[in-house]
Amino acid sequence: MPYKWDFNTVLQFWDLFAWGLWLTFAYTLGSIVVGVVIGMVICFGRLSRFRFISGLSRAYQEVFRCTPLLVQLMWFYYALPLLIGVTIENYVAAMLTLSLYAGSFYSEIFRGGILSIDKGQTEAAKAIAMSDRQVMWRIIIPQAFKRVLPSFINQSVIQFKNTSLISVISVGELAYMAAVVNGQTYRPLEAFTIVALLYFVVLFPMTQAADYVEHRMRVSD
Amino acid sequence: MHSTDAKPILTVRGLKKSYNKLQVIKGVDLDLHRGEVLAIIGPSGSGKSTLIRCLNLLEVPTAGEIAYNGRRVENRFQSRGGNIGCGELRRHVGMVFQHFNLFPHKTVMQNICEGPIAVLKEPRSEVEARAMELLGKVGLLDKRDAYPNHLSGGQKQRVAIARALAMRPDVLLLDEVTSALDPELVGEVLQVIRLLAHDGMTMAIVTHEMAFAADVADRVAFIDGGVIAELGTADTVIRNPASERLQAFLSRFNA
B13 to A141, B2, B10, B32, B139: CA distances (angstroms): 38, 20, 10, 12, 39
CATH number at residue B116: 3.40.50.300
- For residue B113, give the 3-state DSSP assignment: helix
The one-character DSSP state at B84 is: B
Domain presence at residue B3? no
Q: What is the pTM of this model?
A: 0.86
Residues in A closer than 8 angstroms to B105, CB to CB, are 142-143, 146
**DSSP for chain A, written as a single string:** ------HHHHHTTHHHHHHHHHHHHHHHHHHHHHHHHHHHHHHHHHH-S-HHHHHHHHHHHHHHHSS-HHHHHHIIIIIHHHHHTS---HHHHHHHHHHHHHHHHHHHHHHHHHHTS-HHHHHHHHHTT--HHHIIIIIIHHHHHHHHHHHHHHHHHHHHHHGGGGGGGT--SHHHHHHHHHHHH--HHHHHHHHHHHHHHHHHHHHHHHHHHHHHHHHH-
Cα of A25 to nearest chain B Cα, Å: 33
Domain presence at residue B240? yes
Query: What value does the CA radius of gyration of chain B take, rounded to a whole number of Å?
Result: 18
Superfamily classification of domain A8-220: MetI-like (1.10.3720.10)
Domain presence at residue B4? no
Low-confidence stretches of chain A (pLDDT beneath 70): 218-221
B73 to A104, B56, B69, B83, B173: CA distances (angstroms): 41, 9, 10, 6, 16
Cα of B12 to nearest chain A Cα, Å: 19
Domain presence at residue B37? yes
Torsion of CA A64, A69, A71, A73, to 10 degrees: 100
Residue B133 CB: number of other CB atoms within 10 A?
13
Testing the interface with B: which of A122, A128, A145 to mutate, by most B Cβ within 10 A? A128
Residue B171 CB: number of other CB atoms within 10 A?
22
Question: Considering CB atoms only, which of B99, B104, B163 is closest to A128?
Answer: B163
Q: Enumerate the β-bridge partners of residue B232.
A: B220
pLDDT of residue A90: 93
Testing the interface with A: which of B50, B106, B119, B159 to mutate, by most A Cβ within 10 A? B119
Domain borders along chain A are 8-220
Whether the predicted interface score ipTM is above 0.90: yes
B101:A138 CB<8 A? no
What CA–CA distance (Å, rounded) separates A180 from A165?
15
Domain presence at residue B147? yes
pLDDT of residue B230: 93
Residues in A closer than 8 angstroms to B118, CB to CB, are 130, 134, 138
What CA–CA distance (Å, rounded) separates B139 from B145?
14
pLDDT of residue A211: 84
Domain presence at residue B14? yes
Question: Considering CB atoms only, which of A121, A129, A220 is closest to B90?
Answer: A129
Question: Considering CB atoms only, which of B104, B119, B120 is closest to A143?
Answer: B104
Question: Considering CB atoms only, which of B90, B104, B163 is closest to A126?
Answer: B90
Question: Could you tell me how far CA B61 lies from the centroid of its own chain?
Answer: 17
- Averages of pLDDT over runs of 10 residues in chain B (255 residues) are 70 95 94 96 92 96 95 94 95 97 96 97 96 96 95 96 97 95 93 95 95 93 94 90 90 73
The per-residue pLDDT for range A99-156, each reduced to its tens digit, is 999 999 999 999 999 999 999 999 999 999 999 999 999 999 999 998 898 899 999 9
pLDDT of residue B255: 47
- For residue B203, give the 3-state DSSP assignment: strand
Task: Tell me which residue range forms the domain holding B207.
Answer: 10-251
Residues in B closer than 8 angstroms to A123, CB to CB, are 58, 97, 101
The per-residue pLDDT for range B54-68, each reduced to its tens digit, is 999 999 999 999 999
Residue in B closest to A122 by C-alpha: B101
Instruction: Name which of A121, A138, A137, A143 is nearest B101 in CA terms.
Output: A121
A146:B88 CB<8 A? no
Residues in A closer than 8 angstroms to B95, CB to CB, are 127
Question: Considering CB atoms only, which of A128, A132, A139 is closest to B90?
Answer: A128
What CA–CA distance (Å, rounded) separates A112 from A104?
13
Q: Is the dihedral of CA A173, A176, A181, A187 positive or negative?
A: positive
What CA–CA distance (Å, rounded) separates A193 from A11?
12
As for how many domains chain B has, the answer is 1
Domain presence at residue B1? no
Instruction: Name which of B230, B225, B238 is nearest B24 in CA terms.
Output: B225
Instruction: Name which of B75, B156, B61, B89 is nearest A130 in CA terms.
Output: B89
